[in-house]
Amino acid sequence: MEAARVPPHDPRRRGRSLWLAGGMLLALSAIPALALLAAEPGPPPIAGPISVAKGLQRPLQRATGDFAVRWNGLTGSLTVVDTRLRDQVVFATLPHTAFLAAAQGSMTSHEHIGYFQLGRQRGVTYDAQTVTSFGTVHGAVTIAGTLASSTGQEAAYTLSLAARGPQKLSYRLSVRGGEVERVYLSWRSRRSEGYYGFGVQFSAFDMQGRLLPILVQEHGYGRGVQPLTFLADLLQGGAGGNWYNTYAPVPFYLTSTMQALYSENRGYQAFNLTDPEIGQLEVDGRVARGLIFAGTSPARLLAQYTDVVGRMPALPAWTQRGLIVAAEGGTRTVLHRVSQLLAAHVPVAGLWIQDWSGLQRTSFGEQVVWNWRRSPSHYPHWQRLLAYLRQHRIRLLGYVNPFLVDTGKPAGPQDLYLVAKARGYLVKTTSGRPYAFHYPGRTAYLVDLTNPRTVAWLQGIIRRQLVGNGFSGWMADFGEELPLSASLYRGPSSSAAHNSYPVLWAKLQDAVLRQTGLQGKALVFLRSGFATSPRYATAFWLGDQLESWGPNNGLESSVTALLSAGLSGFTMEHGDLGGYTSLVQFPFRYVRTPALLMRWMEVDAFTPLLRSHEGNLPARNAQIWSSPAIERELTRMTSLYTALAPYRARLMQEAATRGAPIDRPLFFDYPRDPRAYAVGAREFMLGRDVLIAPVYTPNEAQVRVYLPQGTWVEIWSQRTYRTSGGRSLTVAAPIGRPAVFARAGTQAQRLLAGAVSRLDKAGGSSR
């Protein structure tokens, strides 16, 4: 998110601190209750009885494509196998337990600038399943029967299973009659089975034991860390967030037993994995549809999945030449920052300026003007800026989001909000007025991307103002805020329209690149997303992590998010160097320290993109130019990043053709190694040949590492480790020498060895 500059003597700061201090007292008194709430796993899956018609109380089998659907009428259970994969089980249900259910239900929603507080109530539950038919219709295996409630109400159902090409099985559950507003599909799970994917997830990597809703939204400050979350919720309209909040959820998972399922429903849904024996998908509506995939490895399953939702292309080659520097403050300031880094021998690939459209003074501080026109007063001598960047082979990037603000200028084409309002291009309330979003210090209005005229108009603005002014890319921010109860060009909003909005936002960016011939040449990075967003996106970034070390919303959470993103098709994913969100109001102090910034460099140097950010309070944070020591470490990590460009080029090609994640967990390449799953997100791989074990705590100079089977070279000492069955060890990892291992004899090992040798010769040893 864009930086908001708060002046040192902001008159609102004292009042805000007093509010937080009062809230702190409330939070302290409520901590025991908050702990109980945090420990609550959520309601268990619906697991009613199952009964079978007399003619079906025996084993039966039907085929669809390469899949055999086996019915056990004695236990009332289904097993689906892929006959071409030696009868590998791809889906199975629990014996003597209903695998389908339905319910009456209602949902209310309170929205505040991208945070959604949902009230979900379940009424009549149809949890008793009867199976009355099992057969084949038009090539699909169908199971039909009734679902009954404890009060005797009934609804009819049909579950169809049909092959959709090799190793893909579609399912469609339809329920008719009764007061049904939700449907449930259950499957047999195992106590030790790990569930991975689900989009860009921050606080948990393995979702076993959790209830995970799928709804696009802001990801929050504390995300369950107390009392920060409680205070943010209390004072900022739910901004604390929950552990599951994410900008880019995806209804797809793969498991440690090589099961994989993708729900094609777009609206609200939830995966209930709280019972170790039953997994359950809850979908709002009367129809649930999706795909089940067959494969013997995570790589094959992900290839099948990305065949359906789309894959991300390789990044433009220029992005791999070095750091993309975030700077702002006008022409003179940003040129000074770039020249300072160049003098420190930092390879710079791009300059990213968020405030190209100008700054406005608000009660919250100086903020970027959300009126997408270049500001000649804030950035004078524009051609001189472009010429300097061209001289140093540095690309220019900007910023845009789908909001508009009233600039207060006279009505005319300069005020895009007034133009959009007059033409009906804004999201509206149910009463027909533009829907107002009250951000700190400003009121903003969201454009309606379901209106083709709105889309064409905004595409024209981006073409003229960004591409036309020499930008080679931009951050396409936001996309999470569409209310569930707004009025759109296509009709009333809904959870399906809400989850689809980020996809429309990505499609708009893709169309601009196609129209201007910049596809494959420009870098557009998005935050929000849903299942099919990667099909239209150049890159994603992880959003607004707290400037902290922790697993809920800090440095460690960024690695969890990188890995879950990669297992969900978001292959070109990266984060803000050092995090984004600072909090300095009493009693909290979350700011970017030099140590945190340098440790974050050590992670981001092994991602597809390396990009800095000043954060929301630049003056409070350690910046990449704050000291010679930081600049020296930045040079070292950027040198490793640029050295690996040829290796990443190969990985990006694999991502574009097979959907293989660039940053991946150990088990992606070692699916039969139980310890590879146990490692979780404490380590990660860059492709198959580079292993990174980050340091997630301050004042730590060593780390525990698990090396899977193979021969590995520690890049700094060049010491070789051979293991035939995996090996754990403790290695030194001071700042500037992170624990990085390369597979011996590979391209990556040679590239890293050369980079380290050059650093040593240049006298760039770490402190």
Distance of CA 135 to CAs 162, 236, 565, Å?
A: 12, 55, 39
Phi and psi at residue 103, to the nearest 5°: -160, 155
Say if residues 550 and 556 touch (Cβ distance below 8 Å): yes
To which H or E segment does residue 721 belong? strand 720-723
Say if residues 159 and 173 touch (Cβ distance below 8 Å): yes
Taking Cα atoms as reference points, which of 355, 399, 365 lies closest to residue 584?
Answer: 365
Distance of CA 751 to CAs 52, 490, 643, 690, 711, Å?
A: 63, 53, 6, 11, 17
What is the DSSP secondary-structure string of 88-131? EEEEE--TTS-SEEEEEEEEEEEEETTEEEEEEEEEEEEEEEEE
- What angle (nearest 5°) sits at the alpha carbon of residue 209, between those of residues 205 and 214? 65
CA 567 to CA 668: how far, in whole Å? Answer: 9
Whether 480 is a known active-site residue: answer yes
CA 578, 584, 587, 589 dihedral sign is: positive
What is the DSSP secondary-structure string of 223-240? TT-TTHHHHHHHHTTSTT
CA 575 to CA 612: how far, in whole Å? Answer: 9
Phi and psi at residue 743, to the nearest 5°: -65, 130
CA 760, 762, 766, 767 dihedral sign is: positive
CA 360 to CA 440: how far, in whole Å? Answer: 13
Task: Name the packing angle between helices 628-643 and 645-658 (round to 10°).
Answer: 60
To which H or E segment does residue 442 belong? strand 442-446
CA 340 to CA 435: how far, in whole Å? Answer: 44
Tokens (6 digits) for 232: 């943010």
Say if residues 470 and 491 touch (Cβ distance below 8 Å): no
Candidates 284, 328, 477, 604; catalytic one: 477
CA 310, 316, 321, 322 dihedral sign is: negative
Candidates 206, 218, 284, 480; catalytic one: 480
Number of neighbours of residue 443 by Cβ within 10 angstroms: 13
Rounded CA Rg of the chain:
26
To which H or E segment does residue 526 belong? strand 523-526
Say if residues 567 and 533 touch (Cβ distance below 8 Å): no
Q: Give 634's contacts (C-beta < 8 A, 6+ positions apart).
A: 323, 341, 344, 346, 601, 624
Give exposure, 267-295, as e/b (b: 16+ Cβ within 10 Å).
bbbbbbbbbeebbbbbbbbbebebbbbbb
Phi and psi at residue 748, to the nearest 5°: -60, -40
Candidates 181, 282, 355, 544; catalytic one: 544
Q: Give 324's contacts (C-beta < 8 A, 6+ positions apart).
A: 348, 349, 350, 351, 352, 397, 523, 609, 610, 611, 612
What is the DSSP secondary-structure string of 353-409? -GGGG-EEEETTEEEE--S-S--TTTS-SHHHHHHHHHHTT-EEEEEE-SEEE---P
- The helix/strand/coil state of 22 is helix
Q: Could you list the active site residues? A: 477, 480, 544
